[in-house]
């Protein structure tokens, strides 16, 4: 029987070159959540930085993690953490950028396709094709004109977006906490109304 642990994984790429790009919004949300707890991420032996915490005393343990590798290799360290801490795929929450949502929109879902997202593809592959994990989809909007999507998500947020970004990260962090505290359906009802 699996443990009651949750793993919250924020997707992105390593290093200062990518740290403030649209593709790294998942890692930014994990930083927001960890900052609320006055904690910091520590390196592990599996290629990820991680910290454990609880929403409240006696509540389920939450493991917050970001991969130290590139987006398309996210699945391996996440799978290793899941195996080590006995996390069921149904208790995995993956936070990622979503070009099919307008900037500032946040949507929650369980399962479904990866929509061309290389981080999600890597996770699904390392879970043996299991897609039964929860996604916190943080909208970054579609690229303008004919700009390539890969180039677009590797750019920093615009000046106007940067002004609104702290609130977006806060709302996405709240969404994660709602999922863990109240369940996915209740969290969707709350988050999708905003």
Q: pLDDT tens digits, residue range 88-106?
A: 999 999 999 999 999 999 9
Question: Could you tell me which residue, 56 or 20, shows the higher pLDDT?
Answer: 20
- pLDDT given at position 7: 97
Region of 115 on the Ramachandran plot (φ > 0 left; ψ -120 to 50 alpha; else beta)? left
- pLDDT given at position 25: 98
- pLDDT given at position 37: 86
Residue 136 forms beta bridges with which residues? 95, 108
- pLDDT given at position 194: 67
**Residue indicated by tokens 């943080």:** 138
Q: pLDDT tens digits, residue range 127-157?
A: 999 999 999 999 999 999 999 999 999 999 9
- pLDDT given at position 1: 47
Phi–psi pair at 105, nearest 5 degrees:
-85, 145
Percent of the chain at pLDDT exceeding 90: 89
CB distance 11 to 96 below 8 Å: yes
Q: 12-15, long-range: CB within 8 Å, 24+ apart, which pairs?
A: 12/66, 12/67, 12/71, 13/70, 13/71, 13/154, 14/67, 14/68, 14/69, 14/70
- pLDDT given at position 2: 58
- The answer on pLDDT for 167 being more than 70 is yes
Phi–psi pair at 43, nearest 5 degrees:
-70, 145
Q: pLDDT tens digits, residue range 29-55?
A: 999 999 998 889 999 999 999 999 887
- Is 70 among the annotated ligand-binding positions? yes
Average pLDDT, the chain: 94
Q: Is 116 helix (H, G, I), strand (E, B) or coil?
A: coil
- Is 24 among the annotated ligand-binding positions? no
Asked if 126 is an active-site residue, the reply is: no
- pLDDT given at position 4: 87
- Is 84 among the annotated ligand-binding positions? no
- Is 118 among the annotated ligand-binding positions? yes
- The answer on pLDDT for 60 being more than 90 is no
The active-site residue out of 23, 117, 126, 178 is 23
Query: For the domain 6-191, what is the CATH superfamily, name and number?
Result: Peptidyl-tRNA hydrolase (3.40.50.1470)
- pLDDT given at position 96: 98
């Amino acid at each position: 029987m699996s443990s009651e642990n949750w793993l919250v994984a924020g997707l992105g790429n390593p290093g200062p070159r990518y740290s403030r790009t649209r593709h790294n919004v998942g890692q930014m949300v994990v930083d927001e959540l960890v900052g609320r707890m006055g904690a910091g991420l520590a390196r592990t032996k599996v290629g990820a930085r991680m910290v454990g915490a609880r929403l409240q005393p006696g509540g389920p343990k939450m493991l917050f993690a970001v991969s130290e590798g590139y987006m398309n290799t996210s699945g391996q360290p996440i799978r290793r953490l899941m195996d080590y801490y006995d996390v069921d795929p149904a208790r995995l929450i993956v936070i990622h950028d979503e070009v099919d949502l307008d900037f500032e929109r946040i949507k929650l879902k369980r399962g479904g396709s990866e929509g061309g997202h290389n981080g999600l593809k890597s996770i699904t592959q390392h879970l043996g094709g299991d897609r039964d994990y929860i996604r916190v989809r943080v909208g970054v909007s579609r690229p303008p004109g004919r700009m390539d999507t890969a180039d677009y998500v590797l750019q920093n947020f615009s000046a106007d977006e940067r002004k609104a970004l702290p609130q977006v990260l806060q709302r996405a962090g709240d969404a994660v906490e709602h999922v863990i505290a109240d369940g996915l359906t209740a969290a969707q009802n709350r988050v999708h109304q905003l």
